[in-house]
Amino acid sequence: MNSRNDLKKAKRIVFKLGTNIITNEGGNIALSRVYSLIESIAELKEKGREIILVTSGAVGMGEKLLDYPKNCDPISIKQAFAAVGQGRLMHFYAEAFEKFNIKTAQVLLTADDFSRRKKYLSLRNTLNTLLELGVIPIINENDAISTSELECYKEDGVVICFGDNDKLSALVAGKLDADILVMLSDVDGVYNGNPKTDKNAELIPLIPEITPEIESYCFAASKGGRGGMKTKIEAARIVTHSGCMMIVAGGKDKEIIRKIFNAEEAGTLFLPVEQLSGRKKWIAFASNISSYIQVNEGAKRALIEKKASLMPIGITGIKNTFKKGDVIGILDENGQEFARGMTNYSSSECKKVIGMHSEEIEEFLGFKNYDTVITRDNIVIL
């Protein structure tokens, strides 16, 4: 799928509704707008499309319902808001879709559900089964447990942050083999400037490839939401490398979904690029990287140009600890990450064989399960 006309044939669609679309300026649900979007989604469902909805808004709904001391911990109170608001948010969606005889299911996720492959495969099976049963999964990050959408944080040395569900929706679309991710925002698409401050900023209707120039157009998150255009560009990188299209469009237009799937010129369309395999998608995008192997220039060239495996002779350093089977970053001599891979040995074992030839592994470790530290099938060049 590589054009707007292909949208008419899209079978599996992921919608992402951000905080500024779900709520109005007063922090309440924007009933008229959201009901219109739900009606459009129901029309697509009636035509046989498979729908997944990723939503924000639980924290805002909880805040409207609770009185709270102003001097409390800001993260814990937001978690409390999420715990109270999520039930209300889900009740709203369930009632709204029920008017169209559509069943819904709540799915709450954390970053760990994607970073651990066994959990990810289980999640994929669950979501596929819900779709087969004609149910719309309604997904949100589990903010009552995970603070990653509320604020970037470290867990076991890993920095985790979804960004107002932008990355979450991209991972869902990529892992579920969606045809398109429709990201509805409070801006009409990607501009070559900030349209809220620059009256000369122009909408970019089509992005075949994410270039440094496109990345330069990113700007800070708008008030209320936490994502901004930067995280949407990052989400688009995940989605397009998964063989999926993505549209960023203005969700305050009640007819926007109909316009998109009538192939009208609406929003910014990102086209898919070279598709990664399922395992490589997981390696490249779903894992939160905290440990690294540094390599010399010769090893870097071999990995990029020859698609080679990583041999211990090319390793110059180890950063942080990791276990066999962990996904780690691969750094060049300047400390820049240029690849990721799933390692065959732990960090302590790798340290013992730095700079060695493959035939020396058993001599220094007392065993040898692999000739390579990372096999080429488990390496992704970024």
State residue 42's pLDDT score. Answer: 97
Domain boundaries for CATH 3.40.1160.10 within the chain? 4-281
- Lowest mean pLDDT: which of 134-138, 182-186, 225-229? 225-229
List beta partners, residue 80. none
Quickly count: other Cβ atoms within 10 Å of residue 124's Cβ. 15
Give the confidence band of 1 by pLDDT, cuts at 50, 70, 90.
low
State residue 231's pLDDT score. Answer: 83
pLDDT digits (tens, 9 = 90+) for 312-333: 999 999 999 999 988 899 999 9
Give the confidence band of 81 by pLDDT, cuts at 50, 70, 90.
confident
* 3-state secondary structure string across the chain: CCCHHHHHHCCEEEEEECHHHHECCCCCECHHHHHHHHHHHHHHHHCCCEEEEEECCHHHHHHHHCCCCCCCCHHHHHHHHHHHHHHHHHHHHHHHHHCCCCCEEEEEECCHHHHCHHHHHHHHHHHHHHHHCCCEEEEEECCCCCCCCCCCEEECCEEECCCCCHHHHHHHHHHCCCCEEEEEECCCCCECCCCCCCCCCCECCEECCCCHHHHCCCCCCCCCCCCHHHHHHHHHHHHHCCCCEEEEEECCCCCHHHHHHCCCCCCEEECCCCCCCHHHHHHHHHCCCCCEEEECHHHHHHHHHCCCCECHHHEEEEECCCCCCCEEEEECCCCCEEEEEECCCCHHHHHHCCCCCHHHHHHHHCCCCCCCCECHHHEEEC
Domain boundaries for CATH 2.30.130.10 within the chain? 289-381
Give the span between the Cα atoms of 162 and 227, in whole angstroms: 8
CATH of 289-381, one of 3.40.50.300, 1.10.287.110, 2.30.130.10, 3.30.420.40: 2.30.130.10
Give the span between the Cα atoms of 96 and 382, in whole angstroms: 42
More confident residue, 295 or 69: 295
Give the confidence band of 293 by pLDDT, cuts at 50, 70, 90.
very high
- State the amino acid at position 17 in one-letter form: L
Tell me the CA distances in angstroms from 321 to 143, 325, 350, one per residue in order: 28, 12, 10
Over residues 28-57, the mean pLDDT reads 94
Residue 365 has pLDDT above 90, yes or no: no
Residue 339 has pLDDT above 50, yes or no: yes
Specify the CATH number of the domain 4-281: 3.40.1160.10
Residue 155 has pLDDT above 70, yes or no: no
More confident residue, 313 or 196: 313
State residue 110's pLDDT score. Answer: 76
List beta partners, residue 184. 17, 249
Give the confidence band of 222 by pLDDT, cuts at 50, 70, 90.
very low
pLDDT digits (tens, 9 = 90+) for 230-279: 888 888 988 888 889 999 999 999 999 999 999 998 999 999 886 677 67
State residue 158's pLDDT score. Answer: 37
State residue 79's pLDDT score. Answer: 84
Residue 48 has pLDDT above 90, yes or no: yes
Contact 250, 184 (CB under 8 A): yes
State residue 288's pLDDT score. Answer: 67
State residue 349's pLDDT score. Answer: 92
Question: What mean pLDDT, rounded, does the chain reach?
Answer: 84
